[in-house]
Amino acid sequence: MNEMSILDPVLLIAIPLGLAFLIPLLGLVSKKIVRWIPVVGFLFNGIVALLILPHVLKQPIIVKIGGFVPPFGINLYAGSVGMLLASLIAITGFLVSIYAVKYITKGAEQKYHILFLLLLTGATGVVLTGDIFNLFVFFEILCISSYALVAYLGTRSGLEASIKYLIQGSIGSSFLLIGIGLLYGQFGTLNMADLARQIVDYTEPSVFVSMVFMITGLGIEAAIFPLNAWLPDAHSSAPSSVSAVLSGIAIEVGLYAVIRVLFTIFAVSNFFIFFMVLGVLTVLIGEMSAFAQKNIKRMLAYSSIGQIGLIVFAFSISTQLGVAGGLFQMVSHTLGKALLFLCAGYMIFRTGSMEISSLEGIGKKMPITALCFTIGTFSIVGLPPFTGFASKFMIIRAALANGELLLQILIGLVLVGTIIEGAYFFKIIQTIYFKGAHKTDNREEAPVTALIPMLILVSFIIVIGMFPNIIDKVLQPAASELLDQVKYIGSVLG
């Protein structure tokens, strides 16, 4: 047994699944252990993922489940993209689960931890798998746990949002399944590499139809513009720790699946203008709706839509720099949005209201949380020296690299979106720090279990923002992996 077989990427999925099945048993013994299980699981995942990451930058690891050769069995494709996102998921999951230890006190606590653990396990499965039906299965795990978590608080708005999400999400899943079924019927295989090898021309009507079904189905989860009606309600009525992972991870994983299907399976080459326009529309609509919100969580949810639009735009530039910029933006959005939701969680908890106007004077009451929130907004808006700046700058460079007029106009519109984003975030910061100065309440800081994850996220945001080279070493191979279909096929099928 050599070193790599101990660090098998399948452990990233198997261990959390096993822990999730273990939770009900441990729950019979002690209620207190249960809330630390997700922490343990994601700590393990984070360590394993970061240990595997350097190994996959040159050559991806192909995990053959059950030992069957790829088209016949299921394989995991642990390449640079997969491992980058898996590490991101594990780290975010670890931090958010520390936060949740004290934050989740109401309801069926044990069930919350199971659902949370499985939500992120599903996300890890989606980013690592190399088989489209397996992708569907993990997508279902991701979706079903998020439906339940959105309704976790049991409020009327939560239940309503959850049912809305459930209906739209199930339609999306069935579209995805129809698409997969049609592909299987035509090519007789479910392996992504094998499909990619057999699909010669994706514009052939029968193949194109399955592509449209798959992209529509995945697009609902990824919240690309006309398919995002569920998002603001769902993300704003879930508990904040859940909103953090829904906004930070669930939609990005959906977007990853869209990109993987488009680039790797179908090798799409000339629909990018369509996606670019969709992306820009998503940015503008998301940011404008966010500007009009009075409720802080709804504002953050709409801002996520805007960010997703930006990522779609970056990917559809489809050059090395553009795709790397999109991945970088994913990373910085995950870190920034998770931080914002975590801070907002305790701000709402202390003030008892989600209205932005009720946050007056919170900068004095909870100084550390407010500072973290401010850094999060700066990063999302894209101010130096935070990650958001580095990633947005990369996207702008990618858009201007070709010197095409259309791209210049579109990036201009994206920048308008960013300005709107800046305007509403500064409005909140103004409310936090400069309004209601006469109120001098006692300090009521968030508990330590909430502050630690926030501060770690802040340090990530600053360190990556100051030294983008750290992550660039992973982004470049990741972008070439997404763009190079031939290498993908070669490394799976040999």
Partner 1 sequence: MRKCIGIILLIIIAWGILTSLQTMPFGVSRAKVANHYINNGKDETGAANIVTSVVINYRAFDTLGEVTVLFLSAIGLGAVLATIKTREKRDTEKASLILSTGCRFLFPPIILFGAYIFIHGHLTPGGGFQGGAIIASAFLLMYLGCHGEKRLNDRCSTFSESLGGLAFVIIGLIGLAVGTHYFLNNFMPLGKFNTLLSAGVIPIIYIAIGFKVGAELSKIIDLLMEES
Binding stretches for partner 1 (CB under 8 A):
1, 5, 8, 10-11, 14, 17-18, 20-25, 27-28, 63-68, 71-74, 107-108, 111-112, 114-115, 118, 121, 125, 133-134, 137-138, 140-141, 144-145, 147-149, 151-154, 159, 162, 178, 182, 184-186, 188-191, 205-206, 209-210, 212-213
- In terms of CB distance, is 116 or 488 closer to partner 1? 116
The CB-of-484 to partner 1 minimum distance in angstroms stands at 25
Query: Residue 39 corresponds to which amino acid?
Result: V
The CB-of-105 to partner 1 minimum distance in angstroms stands at 13
The CB-of-190 to partner 1 minimum distance in angstroms stands at 7
Instruction: Indicate the helix (H) or strand (E) that contains 61.
Output: strand 61-64
- In terms of CB distance, is 35 or 392 closer to partner 1? 35
User: How far is residue 67's CA from residue 70's CA, in Å, rounded to a whole number?
Assistant: 9
User: How far is residue 87's CA from residue 45's CA, in Å, rounded to a whole number?
Assistant: 8
- In terms of CB distance, is 80 or 124 closer to partner 1? 124
Query: Residue 470 corresponds to which amino acid?
Result: I
- In terms of CB distance, is 214 or 479 closer to partner 1? 214
The CB-of-332 to partner 1 minimum distance in angstroms stands at 30
The candidate with the shortest Cα–Cα distance to 265, out of 226, 339, 344, 211, is: 211
- In terms of CB distance, is 19 or 88 closer to partner 1? 19
308-319: burial string, b at 16+ Cβ within 10 Å, e else: bbbbbbbbbbbe
- In terms of CB distance, is 209 or 462 closer to partner 1? 209
User: How far is residue 386's CA from residue 64's CA, in Å, rounded to a whole number?
Assistant: 40
CB-count exposure of residue 6 (10 Å: 0-12, 13-18, 19+): exposed
Residues sharing a CB contact under 8 Å with residue 239, sequence separation 6 or more, in sequence order: 103, 104, 112, 149, 152, 153, 345
Query: Residue 14 corresponds to which amino acid?
Result: A
Sign of CA dihedral 446, 23, 243, 315: positive
β-bridge mates for residue 61, sequence order: 78
Phi, psi dihedral angles at 267 (to 5 degrees): 50, 50
The candidate with the shortest Cα–Cα distance to 119, out of 27, 239, 249, is: 249
Residues sharing a CB contact under 8 Å with residue 121, sequence separation 6 or more, in sequence order: 13, 16, 17, 20, 141
The CB-of-199 to partner 1 minimum distance in angstroms stands at 13
The CB-of-100 to partner 1 minimum distance in angstroms stands at 14
The tokens describing 420, both together, are 């709107």
- In terms of CB distance, is 184 or 393 closer to partner 1? 184
First to last CA, the chain: 23
- Beta-strand pair 75-78/61-64: antiparallel
The CB-of-184 to partner 1 minimum distance in angstroms stands at 8
- In terms of CB distance, is 6 or 419 closer to partner 1? 6
Tell me, rounded to whole angstroms, the distance of Cα 67 from its chain centroid: 31
The CB-of-79 to partner 1 minimum distance in angstroms stands at 18
The tokens describing 237, both together, are 């009525």
Residues sharing a CB contact under 8 Å with residue 430, sequence separation 6 or more, in sequence order: none
- In terms of CB distance, is 110 or 319 closer to partner 1? 110
* Rounded CA Rg of the chain: 21
**How many residues can be counted in the chain?**
494
- In terms of CB distance, is 1 or 448 closer to partner 1? 1
The CB-of-403 to partner 1 minimum distance in angstroms stands at 38
- In terms of CB distance, is 94 or 152 closer to partner 1? 152
The CB-of-178 to partner 1 minimum distance in angstroms stands at 7
The CB-of-108 to partner 1 minimum distance in angstroms stands at 4
